Amino acid sequence: MQTALLIASLLSPVLAGTYSRSSNIVGEGFYNAFNFEAIPDPTDGRVNYVSEATAKADNLTFASANTFILRADYKTVISDSSSTGRNSVRIRTNAAYTTHAAVFDVEHMPQGCGTWPAIWETNESNWPAGGEVDIVEGVNDQGTDQITLHTNPGCTMPSSGRTQTGTVVGTDCDAEANGNAGCGVKSTVASSYGPSFNAAGGGWYAIERTNTFINVWFWTRDASNVPADVRAGGTSVNTGGWGTPTANFPNTDCNFPNFFDGNNIIINLTFCGDWAGQSSVYASSGCPSTCVDYVDQNPSAFQNAYFQFNSINIYT
């Protein structure tokens, strides 16, 4: 019996899941599915998150029948002495999700020195006890996508033996340890983040969350291995046909129901802050000046600091 249970636990991360679409978010539908959060940035970024009304008035968001845009201000010079950073956007779904799959069809992501774009899931009111899954995250146009969990103390990931194509960069998910680095996995695909992602025409990110594992995938736009149900964005998906995930987080040493609540999807663009603005991180990216000075004084550098979504499909 013990052998059978061990085999089942090892196989669980790759078991197929079939899901039906519960939400198809496209174009103007983003305004119904998400709310704009004009809140102080919890990552201490050089940013001013604005309301939906302000974002629309200032052209920081707009939509067509099949496109949704979120962007930062790229016209205003900011005084370094100002307590207000560059205007930008942060949105959160009205719905929260536990067991689910989600597919993000992204045409363009924010790029530029000082930028810190993210697509993630969490329960803000219960962070970090409710868990956090960073699906898309990176800084300063540097490197590839980093997929990370952040939790209460007690959730860890194995350093090896996981069914994934990415590289482990941390195993302790505790948000109170290691400067909140979390337990991360780096994609090995150059086009998974930043200018390389945009040059390739974007692509698809997907997550599957269950009580026994969390998996995240990435496929670039012109890849031959994009699953047909992902590309189609249809009414159902079967994750068993999605191939090896970029990141696999098993429940080996993390009982997911104890560490993850129903989580909202959050999309945001901040600048500098606790990660992108670290002097060593910013300097290693080859960016000029200091992060805050650059973000304040060079608005035109952020013309490409925008998200363009074709759709988000949620499957439950």
How far apart (Å, rounded) are the C-alpha atoms in residues 229 and 226? 9
Is residue 121 flagged as an active site residue? no
Choice among 37, 121, 132, 208 that is catalytic: 132
Alpha-carbon distance 263 to 133, whole Å? 9
- φ, ψ of residue 147 to 5 degrees: the values are -110, 125
* Cα separation, 283 vs 230, whole angstroms: 38
* Phi, psi (degrees; rounded to nearest 5) at 209: -120, 125
Instruction: Indicate if 137 belongs to the active site.
Output: yes
Q: Which of 107, 137, 176, 208 is catalytic?
A: 137
Instruction: Please check whether residue 202 is in contact with residue 90, taking contact to mean a CB–CB distance below 8 angstroms.
Output: no
Give the active site residues.
Answer: 132, 137
